Amino acid sequence: MNIILLGPPGAGKGTQAKRIEERHGPVQLSTGDMLRSAIRAGSPLGQRAKPIMDAGKLVPDEILIDMIAERIALPDCARGFILDGFPRTVVQAEALDHMLARIGKKLDHVIEMRVDEAALVERITGRFTCAKCGTGYHDRYKQPKVQGVCDVCGAKEFTRRADDTAEAMKTRLAAYHAQTAPILPYYRSTGLYSAVDGMAEIDEVTRQIDAVLAKPPPVRLGDIPKPIKVAPRRRTEETEGA
């Protein structure tokens, strides 16, 4: 199953992508996480991306397109993938179509997480993550069960993102509206699109996503098998002499 999760920063894409991965198997591909690990590794790509990300702007399309094309071709994506944070521009959406066609893969679901923008700054500024396994938490909405200890892996170190500030959030939301929201009409016009209420509680959002994933995949033009043999047309009175 190949899925895209769409929504502004703080919509809950990472939180739900991890849950889909656990419950249904496709691997989470978070372009934000990939870029942050390039920054930690100090690679040339990381050095180029860091100031752009800290400011809340989008990293150039060609970098992201190459990054995802390489990642999607790896063997673990054979069990399916969840794109979290990609595509983020019309150019990236078009490039994704081409790369999937080239490797013979198709999207099954595009899920928009709808949220009330007033809630997003609080979500982003309260966000923290396990430094070891990447599980996401929130100061108010999702504290670890034992304070200071990750529920999933037991680690005691957590990190906060450099761009999770109210200031960078303004730029990130502006980038979402100017560059990412324009790809929504494109996916809405395919049979693949569904929306869920990203303002609901985390478990309820998961239930809504599970309901979407349980829907049978739409029949697409390319999927309709071509008839193997066409029966010869019988001559009838109407076609007689035509």
Q: Is 173 in the site for Zn ion (CB under 5 A)?
A: no
Number of H helices, E strands in the chain: 9, 8
- Catalytic residue, chosen from 13, 36, 50, 123, is 13
SS3 at position 155: coil
- What b/e readout covers 165-196, taking b as 16+ CB neighbours within 10 angstroms? beebbeebbebbeebbeebbeebeeeebbbbb
138 membership: H or E segment, kind and range: strand 136-138
Rounded distance between C-alpha atoms, residue 127 and residue 150, angstroms: 14
Q: Is 123 in the site for ligand ADP (CB under 6 A)?
A: yes
Q: Which of 127, 183, 187, 208 binds ligand ADP (CB under 6 A)?
A: 127
Q: Which of 3, 6, 11, 213 binds ligand ADP (CB under 6 A)?
A: 11
| Residue 188 is among the residues annotated as catalytic for this protein | no
Size of the chain in residues? 242
- CB under 6 A: which stretch of 86-94, 143-151, 152-160, 216-224 binds ligand ADP? 86-94
192 membership: H or E segment, kind and range: none
Q: Which of 3, 6, 20, 35 binds ligand ADP (CB under 6 A)?
A: 35
Rounded distance between C-alpha atoms, residue 99 and residue 73, angstroms: 10
| Residue 88 is among the residues annotated as catalytic for this protein | yes
HSE of 68, CA atoms in CB hemisphere, 13 A? 28
Site track for ligand ADP across 198-227, x = CB under 6 A: ---xx--x----------------------
Q: Is 136 in the site for Zn ion (CB under 5 A)?
A: no
Rounded distance between C-alpha atoms, residue 9 and residue 179, angstroms: 13
Nearer to ligand ADP, 68 or 192 (CB): 68
Compute φ and ψ for 127, nearest 5 degrees. Answer: -80, 135
* Cα–Cα–Cα angle for 14, 15, 20, rounded to 5 degrees: 90
How many binding residues for Zn ion (CB under 5 A)?
Answer: 8
Rounded distance between C-alpha atoms, residue 172 and residue 159, angstroms: 20
Residue 153 near which of Zn ion, ligand ADP, none (CB within 5-8 Å, type-dependent): Zn ion
- CB under 5 A: which stretch of 10-18, 20-28, 123-131, 162-170 binds Zn ion? 123-131
Rounded distance between C-alpha atoms, residue 191 and residue 220, angstroms: 8
Q: Which of 41, 133, 146, 162 binds Zn ion (CB under 5 A)?
A: 133
Q: Is 50 in the site for ligand ADP (CB under 6 A)?
A: no
Q: Is 103 in the site for Zn ion (CB under 5 A)?
A: no
| Residue 161 is among the residues annotated as catalytic for this protein | yes
Active site (catalytic) residues: 13, 88, 127, 161, 172
Q: Provide the binding-site residues for ligand ADP, judged by CB under 6 A.
A: 7, 9-15, 31-32, 35, 52-53, 56-59, 64, 85-86, 88, 92, 123, 126-127, 136-138, 141-142, 163, 172, 201-202, 205
